[in-house]
Amino acid sequence: MALISASDQEVTQVSETLSNIVRSNDRVAPTAALHIEVIADLVCPFCFVGKRRLDAALKAVQGPSDVSWYPFQLNPEIPAEGQSFEDYLTRRLGNPQNVEPILQHIALEGKTAGIDFRFDQLRHVPNTLSIHQVMQLAETRGVDQSGLAEDLMSAFFESGRNIGDPDELIEIAGQHGLSPTDVMSAIDDDRIRQLVLTREAQVRSSGMDGVPGFLVNRRLLIVGAQDTDNMINAFDRAMFGEGTDSLISPALH
């Protein structure tokens, strides 16, 4: 649930490093269209809010756009089988008295983005590595990653489903044209697992230690679940800011 807190200079340095990373990974080069690299974990509530606000911003500008996703595990130390939501909250927040106000705040933020957070239904928090592996499979198969991410986060936060369970992943990914065999192969594939871990390590090496982040046209990094107007302003700055080679220093954190 953490967000980056940094100076403009630090955020600019992260932007520059991330830009170099996505170039080295042969991602789609930015053109006249908006291209967004989303850096997120799919059990992060602020990533869900940020994704919805990104969708609204892209709809508002009505231009051509392309969105791809980079993996980030907020809690890579969670056991492979996951852990109970209660234990997760205790480890993250300590005193149980701290929990309810935070969840209420997140629920209110969610309502502004049309999300019905149902923390009362959450029983299990998964290790998200296998989820990111399925997202990686979606990219290689040309599947809309944003649509898949939407359904995964909705299943988790609005229905309390354990999206780390292979059967749940098979069902949700199947709605996007990925076969059960392909999903299980991706989960079991050491090459895909290593690719996800490598990409995550690259993101962390840039200086990012929290999500969500949105790298716009490899020029400007939006940090956190910014409101839609801020995102639209960032799009304008990334598309039409002075200069074509240097990064724009954002103040959106």
When pLDDT is averaged across residues 98-125 and rounded to a whole number, the result is 96
Confidence of residue 239 (pLDDT cuts 50, 70, 90): confident
Please check the confidence at residue 5 and state whether its pLDDT lies above 70. Answer: no
Contacts of 186 (CB under 8 A, 6+ apart): 133, 134, 136, 137, 192
Confidence of residue 136 (pLDDT cuts 50, 70, 90): very high
- Number of Cβ within 10 Å of residue 169's Cβ equals 26
Specify the pLDDT at position 98: 85
Specify the pLDDT at position 88: 93
Look-up: residue for tokens 């909250």? Answer: 89
Measured distance CA(213)–CA(88) in Å, rounded? 23
**Predicted model pTM:** 0.86
CATH number of 8-240: 3.40.30.10
Query: Which value, to the nearest 10 degrees, does the dihedral of the CA atoms of residues 96, 101, 107, 110 take?
Result: -120
When pLDDT is averaged across residues 108-116 and rounded to a whole number, the result is 97
Confidence of residue 247 (pLDDT cuts 50, 70, 90): very low
Please check the confidence at residue 158 and state whether its pLDDT lies above 90. Answer: yes
Task: Judge contact between 218 and 23, C-beta under 8 A.
Answer: yes
User: Concatenated DSSP letters for 200-235?
Assistant: HHHHHHTT--SS-EEEETTTEEEESS--HHHHHHHH
DSSP summary character for residue 69: E
Please check the confidence at residue 15 and state whether its pLDDT lies above 90. Answer: no
Specify the pLDDT at position 186: 98
Average pLDDT, the chain: 88
Q: Does a cis peptide bond (omega within 30 degrees of 0) precede residue 212?
A: yes
Please check the confidence at residue 9 and state whether its pLDDT lies above 60. Answer: no
Token pair belonging to 156: 């988790």
| Strand ranges for the chain from DSSP E | 34-40, 65-71, 83-84, 124-125, 213-216, 220-223
Token pair belonging to 236: 């304008």
When pLDDT is averaged across residues 98-107 and rounded to a whole number, the result is 93
Please check the confidence at residue 8 and state whether its pLDDT lies above 60. Answer: no
Query: Which value, to the nearest 10 degrees, does the dihedral of the CA atoms of residues 195, 210, 38, 205 take?
Result: -50
Confidence of residue 248 (pLDDT cuts 50, 70, 90): very low
| Strand ranges for 43-84 from DSSP E | 65-71, 83-84
Confidence of residue 97 (pLDDT cuts 50, 70, 90): confident
Confidence of residue 11 (pLDDT cuts 50, 70, 90): low
